[in-house]
Structure 1
Amino acid sequence: MAATPFITIKDLCMDFPESGVATDGNQSMIRVLDNINLEISEGEIVGVIGRSGCGKTVLIHLIRGIDNAPTSGQIIYHVSRCAKCGKIEFQSKAGTPCPVCGDVLEAVDVDFWNPENEKLKTDIMKRTALMFQRTFALYGDDRVIENVLRALDDIKYPSEKAIDRAADLLEEVRLTHRMTHVARDLSGGEKQRVVLARQLAREPLFLCADEPTGTLDPKTANIVHDLLKQAAHREGMGMIITSHFSQVLEEACDRAVLLDDGKITKVGTPEEIVAEFMKDYHDDGEYVALDVGQPIIKADHLLKKFVAVDRGVINAVNDVSFEINEREIFGIIGVSGGGKTTLSKMIAGIYEPTKGSL
């Protein structure tokens, strides 16, 4: 049986003003998306890969319905809708009872950016979700479970069931052990998993994930990729994932798209698209070792502890020693939550060591 289409993108173009003014006095424009055509099926995970600046984020924002309308073209959502309460479901469920009010769901094709369909667009946006690029979008002073409860409150989830639902969502993203921790104290990978739990709380039919693991280490990124796939398959949720890292497509996607200079240049399996994307990348540079000067920073047995009544003692940095020399580029690498940010803040003078000298 052929897959049921969920989103059809037709001849989509997007222009933005360039800096400066054209010679005729009119604002010059730059084309960021150029004649994009793509179909995404219900429950399908599609990856979009391309170099920075190729238009990935603009495309995902247009699909989600935020920022400005496209210059031309269409994004059509194929859904079923309850005329009585506005509930949106997959079009494959047309003719079945609405899960909210019991009325019959009717098939409808929605030209998403047509101003006449603003009400339908709003209804659809309630059933889609977005993980922004390189931002954790959390309430930093709230506990983890409170962040998820806020998301449930946004969709008017029954208050008497909210605690149990929030706990279930945190279990899905493997964060039960961080439930009562304050969000700002989490590692980058943990924060991204809280963001995912908040988006899953919306019970989306479709998730737009813009560079969801771009700032994470490989081990933590693999965890998030697995969680995205599991959530999609468990909930029947479709997804579009943008990235400029080939590993994301290979691990998480059913199909992939190569975007270059605002144009789709190839559609295929993740393996085919990754091979096409990587074929012009070569590490041919010559590296020359430079002389460095004398040590200008010396860390000796650094220790940094954070203490909280309800969370106990956190050893963020534990017995770390090193020297940084003049003219030296000094790298710090480690898994998410390994102490890199805390150590950097001690070097910058933002945090004072609990023990040791710097």
Structure 2
Amino acid sequence: MIRIRGLTKRYGSAAVLTNLDLHLRAGEFAFLQGRSGSGKSTLLKLLYRDIGDYEGQIEIDGIPLDQLPRYELRRKMGVIFQSFELLEQKTVYENVALAGEVVGRSPDDIEPEARRLLERIGLGGKLQLYPHELSGGEQQRVAIARALLNRPRVLLADEPTGNLDPETALEVLALLRELQQEEGMAMLVVTHSEQLVKSAAARTLMMRQGRIEELAAV
């Protein structure tokens, strides 16, 4: 689903990622850990094409990343951010629906899926509320629904519980695992939290000096 071979990313003369390899299979869940500055966020930004200009090969669902039109990448890949990235002037429903609008889906196509997801994550009664009217955990659930709207094959989560208290963080992770299994997608979760990693037996990767090492599942 995600296959990376010999990936190197430089900023000037400094290499942030060095000859990195990774294979994340369809339906697989994995954590990615590493110190600040180790290259975790750079890797994710390359995958969802926030940045470019790299050496090596990146394939998403068997297609070279640089050959995927942006709208097609948005269909194949969902992204969850630590800071939620919700639009304050839009309602819960509108924030979720936006993910379908940007890839050209019609309102009639978007509505049943958006409502289904919001019911599934426990926010079916809050469709018309605005982000500032929600708790942090609820805002992150909206971000999760938005990321899943286009039924992506891959879901990337960059510190998805970093702004949440420990109890809410575990609840959000449990929800992510359930949704990942229900939808059958590959999921890569970047986290600093040992608590999260220990709470779920899953493949665990460590970023060190711009490369990925496999750790045993906890």
TM-score by length of 1: 0.57
CA distance in 1, matches of 2:85, 2:49: 18
| TM-superposed deviation, 1:154 | 2.8
Question: Are the equivalent residues in 2 in contact too, given 1:206–1:238 (CA < 8 A)?
Answer: yes
Counterpart residue number, 1:127: 76
In the alignment, is the contact (CA less than 8 A) between 1:228 and 1:252 conserved in 2? no
Cα distance in 2 for partners of 1:140, 1:167 equals: 19
Alignment of 1:176-325 (within 5 A): 176-252=124-200, 254-264=202-212, 266-271=213-218
Determine whether 1:63 maps to 2:47: yes
Asked if the contact 2:205/2:214 (under 8 Å) is kept, the reply is: yes
Q: 2:31 aligns with which of 8, 33, 47?
A: 47
Deviation of 1:194 (Å)? 0.5
Query: How far apart, CA to CA, are the structure 2 residues paired with 1:244 and 1:8?
Result: 23
Identity %: 32
Q: Label 1:142 to 1:148 Cα distance change in 2 as closer, same or farther (>3 A).
A: same
1:7 — aligned with what?
A: 2
1:228 match: secondary structure: helix
TM-aligned CA deviation for residue 40 of structure 1 = 0.9
- Confirm whether residue 38 of structure 1 aligns to residue 33 of structure 2: no
Q: Displacement of 1:143 after TM fit?
A: 1.8
Residue 216 to residue 58, structure 1, CA distance change in 2 (3 Å): same
Cross-structure match for 2:64: 111
CA positional deviation for 1:148 = 1.8
Q: Which runs of 5+ in 2 are unaligned?
A: none
Q: Larger radius of gyration, structure 1 or 2?
A: 1
CA distance in 1, matches of 2:109, 2:77: 22
Amino acid at match of 1:112: L
Relative to total residues, which structure has the larger helix share, 1 or 2? 2
> What are the equivalent positions in structure 2 for 1:108-187 lying under 5 Å apart?
109-113=62-66, 117-119=67-69, 123-132=72-81, 134-187=82-135
Secondary structure in structure 2 of the residue aligned to 1:145: helix
CA spacing shift, 1:199–1:246, aligned 2, 3 Å:
same
Q: Deviations over 1:209-262 (max 9, x none)?
A: 111101110111111101111111111111111111122333356311111232
Partner Cα distance (1:138, 1:148) in 2: 9
Residue pair 1:143, 1:180 contacting (<8 A) in 2 also: yes
Change (3 A) 1:253 1:228: farther
Q: CA contact under 8 A between 2:83 and 2:163: conserved in structure 1?
A: no
CA contact (8 A) 1:129 1:208 kept: yes
* Structure 1: 4+ residue segments shifted above 4 A: none
Question: Which amino acid counterpart does residue 220 of structure 1 have in structure 2?
Answer: T
User: Closer, same or farther in 2 for the Cα pair 1:225/1:270, shift >3 Å?
Assistant: same
Alpha-carbon RMSD across the aligned residues, in angstroms, is 2.0
Q: List per-residue Cα deviations over 1:66-97 (Å, max 9, x = no partner).
A: 21221x211123x3xxxxxxxxxxxxxxxxxx
User: Which of 35, 59, 80 is matched with 1:76 structurally?
Assistant: 59
Structure with greater strand share of residues: 1
**How far 1:128 moved relative to its partner?**
0.6
